[in-house]
Amino acid sequence: MGMQILSALNQAPASADDISRLLAEQFQLPHDQNFSQQIAKTLHHLDELGLIEKTDWEPPA
Amino acid sequence: MGPFNVQIGMTCTTLAEHLYSLYVNYEMAGCDLAEFHVQIAPARRLKKPFDPYARFLLDGRSLFPPFPAEQALAALEWGVNLAIAARINHLLLFHCAVVERNDHVVLFPAWPGSGKTTLCTALVHHGYRLFSDEFGLMDPHRGIFFPIPRLMPLKNESIHVIRDYLPEVRLGPEIRNTHKGTITHVPPPKESIVRSSETAKANWIVFPKWVSGASLRLDPLPGSEAFLLLASNSFNYEVLGETSFQAVAQLIKSCRCYKLTYSDFDEAIAAMNALTDDI
Amino acid sequence: MIYKPSADHRLLLNALINPASLVEYNTLKWELLLRLARKVKLLARLATELKNRGLLDQIPLRAANLLQSSLVQAKRLQQSTHWELNRISWALKDTDIPIITLKGVAYSLAGLPESIGRVYVDLDIMVPKERLSDVETILIQKGWMNHHKLSTYDDHYYRAWTHEIPPLVHPERETEVDIHHTISPPTSRLKINAKPLFEAAVTARNRGYKILCPADMVLHCAVNLFENNELADDLRDLLDIHDLLLFFSRNEQDFWKKLKERANELNLSRPLFYGLYFSRLIFRTPIPENLENDLDERPNAIARWFMRYLVPHALFPLHPDKHSRQALVARSLLYMRSHWIRMPVRLLIPHLAYKTCLSIFPGKAATSQMMK
């Protein structure tokens, strides 16, 4: 899952919600709160390792 | 020893005799620079003051706890391995056996159950030149491997296996109760020492696995898997950083990678012969 | 007083002061030099000096290979510690806690050219004392943990008597992080107020991290060497002082004036005296004559005489095969001195007694009894 997140973010910045939705579709898993929490945890871990960075960037409307 | 000179100091005469006999084919380096200065020195333990113990010292520093004096030879060999792994970073150090045939080397990376040293011992007595049973020393920029033929340590059952398979080979003394069990050393064939300045590039990477009673299998291995297994089996991959990544990638690209499952030496050697004849 | 180094010391010293002369060293000299330099962590320094002069191919190949190896290792360690600083800053980014980077990493941030060949293994940072427990809590929350398993005694020793908390490490990496709140133990004879250090801190040019101002950086180095350490094999730290003095005197306006005024202001003139004295004596640093005379507090003639005799024996490495009796005695005396000046007698005696007891009866470490 971490690899997929890195791969996705390497293409373009995205919000946590977007990533969560994209991966749920990709792996055909229910996009529920549990799943979103897992993604959030992985994102935090990747941030901790310095592989990604959380910013205040907002996606264009 | 291959690209390095080692100066060994000791006070124990038994060890001196063993070394004299097992290192008989090595050349003395004379006045050339020695990279490593090691010593086997007596040690006294508070708890057992009458048992003869010894220490391994590298430039006066102990690298691991003292050991019973009769294990000195094994400790010396391990200590020199540690010293090389600790100090050498101008070469990439793979944890694998390396042998040469038809001017190219085969790498046998170490992994649990590989029996690489036993297989290596068998091969070097059937026409393969020993580079090392432990270290693949590779120049990361040119992809060249350097021989470092040294005593090959056989452990426990492997000792009996080699005694049966190669009854004519002279083995060193049996050293019991080490932390790896019983050990005995096989001196490298004279030719591999004489030719130890002749380097070579790699053509094949073979991951061996000895399985009792198994029939021979030589299966190709995807490069990505081989990369991961080889990189995680290196002593200093992380130290060299990006250089390692490029070097291993290049190595994998230029080699054919296989998984070898075997139980019979003759079969394994025949398979390796066929492989290395086909360049 | 003219300094006459012994043959071994001269071998190493020449290599450091005049690296171009290394092409004339024969294999025997190289073999000894490599062992000596390794002991004082200066292999990578020699490597860099030769590399900068394009001389690596004019020395014996075996020597060049070992030097190259040391350089690879040094680069790796530098990369790791800089990255650790990056991660620490990440962890503390939502707080306003000022972090000052110290020692090796700081020299690199300050732009010291010799920092390329410097080996530094740990990350040293300083935060205000009153924010120390916040920093520790946040870092532990974000994944760092204690690097060594400490007994209750050792833990207390760190927090009460030294100027740092027990080292931390992040399990994903191996770099030890030492977090200080001042530059000398609170129990030492120097009573240092850390506040001025924070006030005068500057921002490193390209990276946005805070480091000590030039005068304070030199003073910290001198304090560390002559007040905190045992001096054994610390030649590299004196070389740091030499490098810093050269660098700042060339790049900072009125550096010498600022240095002596700051030393007097912070009551650090005594360690600075030794720093200037030995840097000039051993490395012939071009320090203005009589600069030391403007320092308020100078060691008396007897102390100077002892240090002049003892310090070179400690700083330079022992010969790997034949330890000189003189050097061993000098080192023991300086070892005692280092403990003496770091802790008052009322704390020192019980502390040493406890440690001696432990080395004879290791089982006692399990008990948490404090000796009064």
- Whether C306 shows a pLDDT value over 90: the answer reads no
Domain definitions of chain C by residue range = 7-366
Give pLDDT, residue C368: 37
Helix segments in C18-60, DSSP class H: 27-39, 43-52
Residues of A in contact with C90 (CB under 8 A): 47-48, 50
Nearest CA in chain C to B9: C321
Give pLDDT, residue C345: 62
Please indicate whether, in this complex, the C-beta atoms of C86 and A50 are within 8 angstroms of each other: yes
Count of A-C CB contacts under 8 Å = 11
Report which of residues C28 and C160 the model is more confident about: C28
Q: Do chains A and B touch (3 or more CB pairs under 8 A)?
A: no
Residues of B in contact with C35 (CB under 8 A): 37, 59
Q: What is the pLDDT of residues C201-224, one digit of tens each?
A: 999 987 789 999 999 999 999 999
Mean pLDDT of C177-205: 86
- Say if B122 is an interface residue toward chain C (CB within 8 Å): no
> Looking at B9-18, C130-139, C241-250, C284-293, which range is the least confident one?
B9-18
Residues of A in contact with C172 (CB under 8 A): 48-49
Please indicate whether, in this complex, the C-beta atoms of C65 and B90 are within 8 angstroms of each other: yes
Mean pLDDT of A19-44: 84
Give pLDDT, residue A60: 64
Q: What is the pLDDT of residues C64-92, one digit of tens each?
A: 999 999 999 999 999 999 999 999 999 99
Interface subset of C 60-89, CB within 8 angstroms of B: 60, 62-63, 65-66, 68-70, 72-73, 75-76, 79
Rounded CA-CA distance C62/C207 in Å is 38
Give pLDDT, residue C370: 34
Report which of residues C318 and C154 the model is more confident about: C318
- Say if B29 is an interface residue toward chain C (CB within 8 Å): no
Best mutation target among C321, C360, C361 (most B Cβ atoms within 10 Å) is C321
Nearest CA in chain C to A44: C142
Give pLDDT, residue A18: 85
Count of B-C CB contacts under 8 Å = 51
Mean pLDDT of each 10-residue bin along chain B, 279 residues long: 84 79 79 89 74 88 89 91 94 95 94 85 95 94 95 91 90 88 92 92 93 90 92 92 94 94 92 90
Rounded CA-CA distance C66/C69 in Å is 5
Domains and CATH numbers, chain B: 90-150+188-279 (3.90.228.20)
Report which of residues C356 and C9 the model is more confident about: C9
Give pLDDT, residue C309: 87
Could you tell me the pLDDT band of residue C2, with boundaries at 50, 70 and 90?
A: low
Mean residue pLDDT of chain C comes to 87
> Got the DSSP string for B220-260?
E--HHHHHHHHHTTBSSHHHHTHHHHHHHHHHHHTSEEEEE
Please indicate whether, in this complex, the C-beta atoms of B59 and C30 are within 8 angstroms of each other: no
Please indicate whether, in this complex, the C-beta atoms of C143 and A48 are within 8 angstroms of each other: yes
Give the end-to-end CA distance of chain B in Å, rounded to a whole number.
29
Rounded CA-CA distance C166/C148 in Å is 8
Q: Which H or E element spans position C178?
A: strand C176-180
Q: How far is B257 from chain C (nearest CA, A)?
A: 29
Mean residue pLDDT of chain A comes to 82
Q: How far is B119 from chain C (nearest CA, A)?
A: 31
Minimal Cβ distance to C62: which of B31, B33, B239: B33
Please indicate whether, in this complex, the C-beta atoms of B31 and C28 are within 8 angstroms of each other: yes
CB B215 within 8 A of CB B163: no
Best mutation target among C27, C71, C72, C76 (most B Cβ atoms within 10 Å) is C72
Give the architecture (CATH level 2) of C7-366: 2-Layer Sandwich (3.30)
Rounded CA-CA distance B108/B230 in Å is 10
- Whether C372 shows a pLDDT value over 60: the answer reads no
Could you tell me the pLDDT band of residue C180, with boundaries at 50, 70 and 90?
A: very high
Rounded CA-CA distance B55/B62 in Å is 7
Q: In what order do the strands lie in the sheet with C210-211?
A: C145-146, C168-169, C176-180, C123-126, C100-101, C210-211, C202-203
Residues of A in contact with C86 (CB under 8 A): 50
Could you tell me the pLDDT band of residue A54, with boundaries at 50, 70 and 90?
A: confident
- Whether C369 shows a pLDDT value over 70: the answer reads no
Rounded CA-CA distance C212/B33 in Å is 43
Interface subset of A 2-61, CB within 8 angstroms of C: 47-50
- Whether C342 shows a pLDDT value over 80: the answer reads no
ipTM field: 0.91
Residues of B in contact with C34 (CB under 8 A): 33, 35
Q: What is the pLDDT of residues B139-171, one digit of tens each?
A: 999 999 999 999 999 998 889 999 999 999 989
Rounded CA-CA distance C361/C355 in Å is 10
Q: How far is A10 from chain C (nearest CA, A)?
A: 21
Mean pLDDT of A14-43: 84
Q: What is the pLDDT of residues C117-155, one digit of tens each?
A: 999 889 999 999 999 989 999 999 998 998 887 777 777
Nearest CA in chain C to A50: C87
Enumerate the β-bridge partners of residue B234: B94
Best mutation target among C82, C172, C173, C175 (most A Cβ atoms within 10 Å) is C172
